[in-house]
Amino acid sequence: MSRHSIFLKTANIVAFLLVIVVNSIIHVGDERKQPDTEPGDNNTLSFENDNGTVPVTHLLPAEYTFKIWYLIYTLLGGFIIYQWTDAAESVTVEGIQYYHVAASILNVTWLLIWRNENLVLLDAFVLAALFLVTFRAYNIITEYYPPKVIWDRIFIHYPFTMYAAWTFVATILNFWAAISTLDTVFLSTIAIAFLGAIGVYFSDYHKRNDAVFAATIAWALVGIAVKQQDTVPILIASSVASGLILGGVLRVLVRRFVAWWNLRQIRYNPETDRLIP
């Protein structure tokens, strides 16, 4: 293991711990702080979600939706450990490179400024940069480093796929919070349709039929449907969009199961064994 490799992996550890520590400090502070204003007060942003990701808008999902961050951070924690194995050496050093470190710095920056209503637009752009960085890492991993074992999939592909997909969703949510003219039922419905189209693309038309990326978007849309159920156009749009995505995800999973089953039959069928010299 080269010095560069050790330095990079150590930087990944420090960056990951920084994100966790900042998250923890912010959440502890939020639990101790009592809101000074009622939701909807025009002098301040109104927040309802546990994670504190976005203010209240027509695109705000149900509170439980933001728990996906715990899963993402757990998988990234697995990556931090798995990166030290020989199996992850190449993808960590040559593939992911410093994208995880850059993403962590942007993540921390976003967390530190998200509650300031004077910086909410800047915060949205920081989150957009975070999405671009994570999506770049996702693209490299999926294009050049296909999983060889199940651990590659769990600790390399899944965390960066979900990270990219969720920051994509969160970027749209934050721009809706930053630009009040976007927060109408009509434009919000269009945004939901756009998210649905992206999810369907990744499940049905992406060259790797990425069910995880699509399912992450569907998770957000289901949360929007639950939270915004009193707004009929948004309820219908988010329900239909999430249904189409989940249908595509199901098709991908069925095709993969059938392919796995057929391969298993070929490997273990006694009739085929006789043909092997």
Q: What pLDDT, in 10s, does the model give residues 175-187?
A: 999 999 999 999 9
What's the domain range around 241? Answer: 184-262
Would you state the structure tokens that stand for residue 81, as one six-digit string?
């450990």
**271 domain-assigned:** no
Examine the domain organization and report whether 24 and 128 are in the same domain: yes
Examine the domain organization and report whether 211 and 148 are in the same domain: no
Q: What pLDDT, in 10s, does the model give residues 62-101?
A: 999 999 999 999 999 999 999 999 999 999 999 999 999 9
Q: What pLDDT, in 10s, does the model give residues 130-166?
A: 999 999 999 999 999 999 999 999 999 999 999 999 9
Examine the domain organization and report whether 130 and 15 are in the same domain: yes
For 101, half-sphere exposure in the C-beta direction (CA atoms, 13 angstrom radius) is: 13
Examine the domain organization and report whether 174 and 50 are in the same domain: yes
Examine the domain organization and report whether 9 and 131 are in the same domain: yes
Of 180, 212, 230, which residue sits at a domain end? 180
Collapsed DSSP state (helix, strand, coil) of residue 47: strand
Q: What pLDDT, in 10s, does the model give residues 206-255?
A: 988 999 999 999 999 999 999 999 999 999 999 999 999 999 999 999 99
Examine the domain organization and report whether 201 and 252 are in the same domain: yes
**89 domain-assigned:** yes
**What is the rounded distance in angstroms from the CA atom of residue 199 to the CA atom of residue 212?**
10
Provide the number of structural domains found in the chain.
2
**What is the rounded distance in angstroms from the CA atom of residue 129 to the CA atom of residue 148?**
30
List, in sequence order, the alpha helices (H) in the chain: 3-32, 68-82, 89-90, 99-113, 120-144, 150-152, 158-178, 185-200, 211-227, 232-268, 270-274
Cβ burial of 78 (10 Å; 0-12, 13-18, 19+) is: middle
**76 domain-assigned:** yes
Average pLDDT, the chain: 89
